[in-house]
A and B are shown apart, each in its own frame.
Chain A
């Protein structure tokens, strides 16, 4: 510890802190332009100069001068003020002073400091620069004339985001922040540069000239896209969102956001949103009705099916974008009011597939790492995860961990991704062979005796079987299947087993979906073997695709699990719920989402309740999905938009968006965070919570809970994991469930896996599955892209502008073989269907594979896929 005096205040700081950090700790304000705590000290602006008694004769920049013991510092002497004032005068020589029209006006650092230092005239005069303004880049406007050359945008783009799209260009007076060859921006459009710019040189185009900063009400809430759980600050005026910014003092993201979070809010005010319930009339058309009529009809429809066929003929599927409270009420409605266990979410695959495997291996269907663990890890192992696209903010943490703290990154991916640039070891394997690779790693670790013997013998079972089963995954075999050489596997094995803090990151919903469960088990095997689970700062992170992927599992939107991962077949657990809900729950597990669709065709399911789900677009095998929906007696769809699925429904109920409701989301860290309602509901819609309550009442079952707060109280009494979660305790940081010491420690499994029953489950992969057909030679990979999440983001026109649909990505080799050029229209055909797309040649794509994002209604890739979730092979012909 160092102790020093700043402006007569004594302060102790740790070794290595700068004077500025010490001043911050002492509560002394020092003005800066180029300093930001997320970035490395830069010392460009010289605004933070201070006087140090031990360094007489000059002023020192506090942001880049290390503090030493016994320093006596003055931050506000006449000399310091004079230097700062002169600096401001020099900055104002070229600054255009268009504050009245500048969108930064009111929250501009330069403006504030000029006011603070009472600068009314300038001793220096020169003509203004008059650089052309970049009006042409999407989403971000660059006005170099206003720039103060603090370099924060260029640094955040490089140090945090890892793109380096902008940088200093030219020298001396001519220095500007620019792109290469003065092209328009073509980057990730995360807007981090806009957020960090202290002046109005980089501005948000969606917010341009719409409102002044002081008119906006700030509401902190949680992002509704991916499972990172970033805190957004909505800027609200009237009843609409004008912009979204990141506040660097709160949330897991500490102000970092991606393009989806920052710019993808326009769907909330989209004119396409439904504002009235609809029911299908005799002519088969959807007509507007009142809520009373619609709910009456929905209740009648369900009651009819229940009486005629039985409750087990009704199914319900919800989205994992619902809040915890809503998911809880949804499954309560299905189980208590309707009396069926046919409940699932998000197609029943993806995240829940991964965690099913996880639960069988480790006992909990949840991660035990936090975002901070990723940031502080020694080794990060990324398996089948393009996380800089699916979870950009986690990607930023990986980028910072590698670039700043020299963490070792290992990337196992079937194509070259952004993270490969940073990787210490790149394991670019053949598509669909992750499990073979993981088994190979396990074999290497066992054969080299690198595993954590103590943990394996004391806390786990099944090691001998694992050893026997993986013995055949020798280096030669693994190389034959995956294409990864022996030395790389050995190096990876060493890195994973010989470092203290190791994180494995896996994304849900990419690649071959049927492997999800096995992949989870394989990763769990590796993690237990190297002792990384149950060790603080290490662990596995499965990254769900939607904001509440974890919470939806916790709340029991599953056919076989009640809230809190209690088995439906477990009588004791069931009784507790039956007693609280004053009804009986069927003891048989229900059907999963895909089984329900199969059942609909066969007649074992006659009514479906789809909440926020759009199976026609997002479930595999569209033709079968539509057929299943058509053969239902009764279909209720609850959504924001009139989706293709909703068009098939008998009753359509319009729901509220995330900004119009309160509740909680649980992110991938198991952190329960509170949504704060920012907008009044669109007229004519209800929140999902209200709809479940009212519909249940119409069915003759009273829920007794009308607000999210009350629902959470009920959850707290029934679900032990959520006992600690109540609204008064959910601050800005949220609460990580299942963590000891009131949420301070986050090891879910306990020290050395003491809290769970850990089992090694050897996994094998069906290698024949990956053999291409003669007629269909290309493997189809379906997944998500940087600018989209689910099908919701496609309703935001701005995201569509930077991330349009309608393409199929091919490797250069394949494009050459098929004699295709970029942008050429083609037909992609599988055994099940055919769609027309345009070719996008991507040199990072692996030969023999094509990639199509699944988000877009206009390119229904799921007409090609099959419900057995096995790999789909396609052929391409010129259109």
Chain B
């Protein structure tokens, strides 16, 4: 009977081995990994999927050619683009909007972009007071 109880406890400990090891590592044996956010900020990894950014080329012209492939590939369908023709007979996005509240940060849009106009930055503080604030238009996405 006792033997079987010990056996069960042992099995439990075995299962919790990794958890317990992390518990000890971040309390008694080492430094805690909790950051004191927002006083302390976390630095994201280089390939972190954060807020999108639209890029400009060396001449300051926006790189986006309004092919709408990002909108087509987006699984959350959170990208809305309206396209038009500029005075040089080129196609451009007359409006480009990402609904960040719907975005799942998969990064497909960045992969789909044929001209490298879209990038995901490390920006992760995306809370807003209003829903409208979650809609990122072209001007906000083209920010420096």
Chain A contacts to B: CB under 8 angstroms: 99-101, 105, 133, 135, 208-212, 214-215
Contact = CB atoms under 8 A, between A and B. Distances in A.
Contacts of B65: 100-101
Nearest to A214: B72
B91 A212 contact: no
Contact of B91 (A133, A135, A209, A214): A209
A146 B67 CA distance: 17
Nearest to B89: A135
Contacts of A99: 67, 114
Contact of A212 (B72, B114, B115): B72
Given A101-B66, A211-B83, A212-B68, 6 more contacts: A99-B114, A101-B67, A208-B85, A212-B67, A215-B68, A215-B71
Contact of B90 (A101, A210, A214): A101
A209 B82 CA distance: 9
Interface in B62-92: 65-69, 71-72, 83-85, 89-91
26 contacts: A99-B67, A99-B114, A100-B65, A100-B67, A100-B69, A100-B114, A100-B115, A101-B65, A101-B66, A101-B67, A101-B91, A105-B67, A208-B85, A209-B66, A209-B83, A209-B84, A209-B85, A209-B91, A210-B83, A210-B84, A212-B67, A212-B72, A214-B72, A215-B68, A215-B71, A215-B72
Name the residue among A99, A133, A209 with the largest chain B CB count within 10 angstroms.
Answer: A209
B102 to A, nearest CB: 18
Contacts of A211: 68, 83
Contacts of A212: 67-68, 72
Contacts, number: 32
Contacts of B69: 100
Interface residues of B, number: 15
Name the residue among B67, B84, B115 with the largest chain A CB count within 10 angstroms.
Answer: B67
Nearest to B92: A209
A135 B65 CA distance: 19
Closest 9 CB pairs of A and B: A100-B67, A209-B91, A101-B91, A209-B85, A212-B68, A100-B114, A101-B65, A209-B83, A100-B65
A211 B72 CA distance: 12
A821 B89 CA distance: 37
A432 to B, nearest CB: 49
Contacts of A105: 67
A434 B72 CA distance: 59
B53 to A, nearest CB: 19
A208 B90 CA distance: 10
Q: Is the interface of A mostly helix, strand, loop or mixed?
A: loop
Interface of B: 65-69, 71-72, 83-85, 89-91, 114-115
A238 to B, nearest CB: 10
A209 B84 CA distance: 5
A106 to B, nearest CB: 8
Contacts of A101: 65-67, 90-91
Nearest to A141: B89
Contacts of B89: 133, 135
B64 to A, nearest CB: 10
A221 B97 CA distance: 33
A135 B86 CA distance: 13
A208 B83 CA distance: 9
A90 B71 CA distance: 32
Nearest to B90: A101
A211 B67 CA distance: 9
A210 B93 CA distance: 10
Contacts of B85: 208-209
A211 B94 CA distance: 12
Contacts of A209: 66, 83-85, 91
A100 B72 CA distance: 12
A377 B89 CA distance: 47
A99 B69 CA distance: 11
A133 to B, nearest CB: 7
Nearest to A238: B82
Contacts of A215: 68, 71-72
Contacts of B90: 101
Contacts of A100: 65, 67, 69, 114-115
B109 to A, nearest CB: 14
A133 B90 CA distance: 12
Contacts of B115: 100
A211 B84 CA distance: 9
Contacts of B71: 215
Nearest to B67: A100
A101 B88 CA distance: 14
Contacts of B72: 212, 214-215
A135 B90 CA distance: 11
Name the residue among A99, A133, A208, A212 with the largest chain B CB count within 10 angstroms.
Answer: A212
Name the residue among B68, B71, B72 with the largest chain A CB count within 10 angstroms.
Answer: B68
A210 B85 CA distance: 8
Nearest to A212: B68
Contacts of B68: 211-212, 215
Contacts of A214: 72
B86 to A, nearest CB: 9
B128 to A, nearest CB: 26
A105 B114 CA distance: 13
Contacts of B67: 99-101, 105, 212
A837 B126 CA distance: 64
A214 B91 CA distance: 17
Nearest to A208: B85
Nearest to A103: B91
Contacts of A208: 85
A210 B91 CA distance: 9
A209 B114 CA distance: 17
A383 to B, nearest CB: 46
A188 to B, nearest CB: 25
B108 to A, nearest CB: 16
Nearest to A210: B83
B105 to A, nearest CB: 23
A214 B73 CA distance: 11
B84 to A, nearest CB: 6
Contacts of A135: 89
Nearest to A100: B67
Contacts of A133: 89
A434 B69 CA distance: 60
A215 B72 CA distance: 8
Contacts of B66: 101, 209
A236 to B, nearest CB: 15
B82 to A, nearest CB: 9
A426 B10 CA distance: 106
A210 B68 CA distance: 11
A144 to B, nearest CB: 15
A144 B102 CA distance: 42
B28 to A, nearest CB: 56
A210 B95 CA distance: 12
A562 B30 CA distance: 96
Nearest to B115: A100
A204 B143 CA distance: 35
A209 B72 CA distance: 16
B56 to A, nearest CB: 17
B54 to A, nearest CB: 15
Contacts of B114: 99-100
A105 B69 CA distance: 10
A214 B77 CA distance: 14
Contacts of B91: 101, 209
A99 B115 CA distance: 11
A137 to B, nearest CB: 13
B117 to A, nearest CB: 10
Contacts of B84: 209-210
